[in-house]
Amino acid sequence: MNPVEKFPSIKLKGGKKKSFTPSLTIVLMLVVLAVLIVSLGFSSALTFILIETGVLEEEFGQDSSSYIVLFMVVASVFLGALASFFGSKIILRPMRRIIRNMDELASGNFSVRMEVSDSRIRAFKALSLKFNTLADELQNTEMLRSDFINNFSHELKTPIVSIAGLAKILKKGNLSDEDREQYLSAIEEESVRLSHMATSVLNLTKIENQAILTDVTVYNISEQMRSSILLLEDKWAQKELDLSLDFDEITIEANEELIKQVLINLLDNAIKFSPVKGCVSVSITESDGIIVLSVTNEGEPISKENEKKIFNKFYQADESHSSEGYGVGLAIVKKIISLHNGEIELICENGSITFTFALPKTQK
């Protein structure tokens, strides 16, 4: 499929804006108009009755025209205010419900939802649906954050306990040179592990807070891919993986350091979940000003439910947490691709997992 057809939105800086739905405005205008007509009608009818019965003439005499006008104005204002009060109670009831639920959401109750069927006004119904979507996303994010904190705390505690235990043994002395070297190596490995954990979380925070793409240069992304593969040679060589590379020399205008993080994350992810002696395929193509890069590995398919969560921060597809990682790599990847006005997608089929992202060749 042509990259332009597969990723149509990356060529556009913005899609067609949806037209504003004036349902609520029209309803409120009709209510105000109806209130004015009804109040004027009631006041006119009441005035007519009082004139016919002679009440006004008895009170104010023959020259009562000015008093009639005053009476009509007072009656209209009173009846209009009364009708507006009760009308607003009915019309704005869904809005008050939304405000109450927003207060609940702000206080941390992410389980609150709007009853969409209660609203007969299209604008309120659309607002209720958006509110429920927001609440769902916040609830899912809170669950992921809670799971991440629990898992991260466990991952953090393990190397700290190991380092502390080994340090106590070294402090006691009476160790052979071989044992001392072994304990020092273990402390070094656990320290590096802690450093990687901290770097991953700090890097995610830094990327998330970045709103403008900076340090954009033109460079060879094919060469960058080859360098990334060499950096991970120990990992794919240890699993005896077969690498299939399919790309020519392609240049791109982008932030080289950020795109490197994308390549490293996707390659590391593919290697991590590939079976021993499996295959990892990498392809880069260019068409109509769009560069498409794919990384494919053999492995267990990801469920449709998990496909929707795979790019969420703190989410790990390996729920047993037996594999390395802290659930932030793909979240970083998605944010970086978004900063470059690109798209990324996951495809699971025929026993393979493919991450494909598309970027514009130039950043305008």
What is the phi/psi pair of residue 144, to 5°?
Answer: -65, -40
pTM of the model: 0.55
pLDDT of residue 321: 44
Beta-sheet pairing, 290-298 with 352-360: antiparallel
CB 109 within 8 A of CB 138: no
Residues 245-268: pLDDT tens digits? 999 999 999 999 899 989 998 999
pLDDT of residue 162: 86
pLDDT of residue 15: 44
The two tokens of residue 58 are: 């008895």
3-state secondary structure 223-286: HHHHHHHHHCHHHHHHCCCEEEEEECCCEEEEEHHHHHHHHHHHHHHHHHCCCCCCEEEEEEEE
pLDDT of residue 206: 77
CB 358 within 8 A of CB 3: yes
Residue by residue, pLDDT tens for the chain (364 residues) are 555 556 665 544 444 444 444 455 565 566 566 656 665 566 566 556 655 565 555 555 545 555 555 555 666 666 666 666 665 566 667 777 778 888 888 887 888 887 766 555 677 777 778 888 888 878 777 776 776 677 667 667 778 888 888 888 888 878 888 888 888 998 988 888 788 777 777 777 777 777 778 889 999 999 999 999 999 998 899 999 999 999 999 999 999 989 998 999 899 989 988 999 999 999 999 988 999 999 999 888 777 777 767 776 655 555 544 444 445 678 888 888 988 999 999 888 888 889 999 999 998 7
pLDDT of residue 230: 93
Q: Which of 142, 69, 189 is nearest to 314 (CA)?
A: 142
Rounded to the nearest 10 degrees, the angle between the axes of helix 65-91 and helix 93-106 is 40
Task: Tell me the C-alpha distance between 213 and 272, whole Å.
Answer: 30
Q: C-alpha 244: how far from its chain's center?
A: 34
Task: Tell me the C-alpha distance between 176 and 41, whole Å.
Answer: 105
The Cα-based distances of 277 to 205, 231, 269, 273 in angstroms read 36, 19, 16, 12
Dmax (CA) for the chain in angstroms is 124
Residues 292-307: pLDDT tens digits? 999 999 888 777 777 7
The domains located in the chain, with CATH, are 24-136 (no CATH), 144-208 (1.10.287.130), 216-360 (3.30.565.10)
Task: Tell me the C-alpha distance between 55 and 173, whole Å.
Answer: 114
For all residues of the chain together, what is the average pLDDT? 76
